[in-house]
Each structure stands twice: as C-alpha cells, then as structure tokens.
Chain A
C-alpha cells in the first residue's frame, strides 16, 4: 500500500531563512508526487508536482522540490521564507495514471519575525 511520511510535525524558521520540509514515500513503483499547502481555514492548494523527467521541479510561490529515487524522498525547499508562508504543508502521492491522492500527516510551518 502507498504511504507518505512527513517526519516533522511542526517546524519554526525565521523570516528570510531557508526552508526544507521532508517527505518520504513507500510505493512499489515511482508514483506521482505532489506538495499541497493549506492556509488556516482554507482548502488545499497545489504547490508543485512531479511526474517524470527533471528531478528538480519548480512550483508556485518560489518553492521547489527534488525527487530522489534512491532515498524515496521528495523534499520541499524554499531559499528564503516570507511570513505569508506560514501554513500547513502536505506531501501526497498517487499511483501513475490515477487521481486518488494519499496524503502525509502534514508539517505545520511557523515563521518567526
């Protein structure tokens, strides 16, 4: 069965600092990989996705993620965070060709001024 692990429940960084959120997946073959963001009281919004090809993918709001097959990881990064990035971030996987998403437990990001 597919599973997604986000090891960090809560991360706090200072505004302007770099950010890396971790995501590991367990799946028989390379799935489709996604990062979604949820602001308080809102639904989820897609940040970026990886299907194939270049293992470094760019997303919205200055985020990027790197797929590492050998580590079964898809970590999210941002070189310099802004106070508006405070939110909950979800890593998700889907079987190739499918739309059904399996989500990780989420990482809550707090930004210190």
Chain B
C-alpha cells in the first residue's frame, strides 16, 4: 500500500532547538510539497520540489527554515532555531507531474510543539 511516510509524528521541543522533519514520498512520485497547518492560517504551502529541485519556497521563513531533497526518497524540513510560533502540524505530500495534476497524496503529518 503506497503511502507518504512522515517522521516524527509528534515532536515537543524547547525554543531555540533545531527540529528536523522527514518525509518519504511515494515511490515514483517526482513532486514533493511541504504544507503547514494551523488553526489561524489553515494550510499554507511552505515549499515544493520537482525532480528534487526546489521550485518555490516563497512561503517559508528563510531565516530559520530550510527544505531539501537529498535524494528521491527523502525530503527534509529543518527549523533552526525553533520558536513557539512554529507550533503546527507539518504535512508532506507527493505527486506525479506531468499527469495527475493536483492529485497529491498526503502523509499523516508531524505535529510540532515548541515550548
């Protein structure tokens, strides 16, 4: 059963600490998206990649966030240093382009709490 896998599912950390979230996209998918979900802002696109190249990271605070795809099976989102306002659920999604335009497959999310 193909699915997007995210780790960790839950993370509690203290302000100032580094946080790394990982995502394994569905095998064969060539686009990867990072979304952040909060009650106030809803679902916000942070960054996305196609064929491992970053296409858009305009939604990401550049001073503390970074996103990479070291290889086709791993995407990472790093926050350094973390702040309480970063508390949210971070979703990774993958898809196939061109082709199933817009049909994204979401992971179960990483719930981050920064104290």
B residues with a Cβ closer than 8 A to A are 4, 31, 33, 42-43, 45, 48, 50, 56, 91, 93, 95, 97-98, 101-104, 106-109
Asked if B102 and A94 make an inter-chain contact with CB atoms under 8 angstroms apart, the answer reads yes
- Complex contacts, B42 vs chain A, CB 8 Å: 103-106
- Given A44-B93, A101-B102, A101-B104, 19 other A-B contacts at CB below 8 A? A41-B108, A43-B93, A43-B109, A44-B106, A51-B101, A90-B43, A94-B101, A97-B101, A98-B101, A99-B33, A99-B48, A99-B50, A101-B33, A103-B42, A103-B43, A104-B42, A105-B42, A106-B42, A106-B43
Most buried by B among A100, A103, A106: A100
The DSSP consensus for interface residues of chain B is strand
Min C-beta distance of A97 to chain B, whole Å? 7
Size of interface on A: residues with Cβ below 8 Å to B = 24
Please measure, in the bound complex, the distance between the C-alpha atom of A106 and the C-alpha atom of B43, giving whole angstroms.
9
